[in-house]
Amino acid sequence: MIKLNTTTAAAIAATRRAVGVPRQVRLRNGAPAQIRALRSDDAKRFGGFVARLSAASRGERYGRGFGTCTPAMLLDLVNVDGVRHAAFIATLKLDYDEEVIGEARYDVSTDGDCAELTLVVADFWQGQGLAEPLLDRLLEAARDAGLRRLVGEVPSSNHQMIRFMKRMGFVACAQGADRPVLRMERGVAPRLPQAPAPRPVDVLRRWLNNQLFQFGF
Ligand SMILES: CC(C)(COP(=O)(O)OP(=O)(O)OC[C@H]1O[C@@H](n2cnc3c(N)ncnc32)[C@H](O)[C@@H]1OP(=O)(O)O)[C@@H](O)C(=O)NCCC(=O)NCCS
């Protein structure tokens, strides 16, 4: 097997991203899904996805009381420039088409280096680990677009999304105790791998060695 150095591998990865090669992911239940950029010809598929969401999920993502997308809204949602507005979907392959089962999107705010994130997974497919690769793909796009931070305005009642974002390295910014919406934020740079916590047996061994050394053994 040819071994690539990290620079070459990073360049290939960036090129694959730029030309929009879909990414294959395997969900916790073993189902194969793919993550790809949302395209303008996805309007019908995407409309079906929004319509199939439960009222609760649709409300968390698009606002309480949101019903169906009008054709004009759908056009707006699927026409993204990929830089100031980027959107990725997770799909399942069907015989002649694809079914959309998740969406992650960012919109650049007025200050230029920060974008607001939104994320939703089809109810049936929640709990299958799909949000993570969707967010990873969005973070890559944000890095490629030169952004520095992603933020999410999440109602404090949306515990699932808040737990997920914390797991993914977002931190809650200062907010008043009475604020119903939490502002979660993180830089778009990849997180450094954490050093594994020392095993209790190793801590004990180190302590014993110190004691023996102190008493001259
Ligand atoms: C929030 C949301 C995006 C998370 O997506 P997801 O793909 O379901 O996320 P995950 O699969 O990583 O995790 C979901 C939960 O399943 C749990 N889980 C872990 N392993 C699991 C397994 N093997 N089987 C089932 N569930 C599992 C996770 O621990 C997590 O639970 P937690 O919240 O108690 O930590 C999704 O719930 C959603 O679309 N909600 C509605 C829309 C919304 O709120 N959007 C945010 C506003 S922008």
| pLDDT given for residue 173 in this prediction | 86
Atom of ligand 1 nearest to the CA of 128: 11
Q: What is residue 84's three-state secondary structure?
A: coil
User: Rounded to an integer, what is the distance from CA 170 to the centroid of its chain?
Assistant: 11
Domains of the chain from N-terminus onward: 8-147 (3.40.630.30)
**For residues 191 and 125, what is the distance between their CA atoms, to the nearest angstrom?**
26
Interval between CA 91 and ligand 1 midpoint (Å)? 17
Residues of the chain above pLDDT 70, percent: 86
Side by side, which strands form the sheet with 23-26?
A: 23-26, 32-37, 85-93, 98-108, 114-121, 149-155, 181-187, 171-172
Query: DSSP strand E in 122-215: where?
Result: 149-155, 171-172, 181-187
pLDDT, tens digit, for every residue of 154-201?
Answer: 999 999 999 999 999 999 986 656 678 899 999 998 876 666 777 788
Interval between CA 27 and ligand 1 midpoint (Å)? 12
pLDDT, tens digit, for every residue of 104-163?
Answer: 999 997 777 899 999 999 999 999 999 999 999 999 999 998 999 999 999 999 999 999
Atom of ligand 1 nearest to the CA of 56: 41
Q: What is the pTM of this model?
A: 0.82
In this prediction, residue 202 has a pLDDT band, given cuts at 50, 70 and 90, of confident
Q: What is residue 105's three-state secondary structure?
A: strand
Take residue 2 and report the two structure tokens written for it. 């040819």
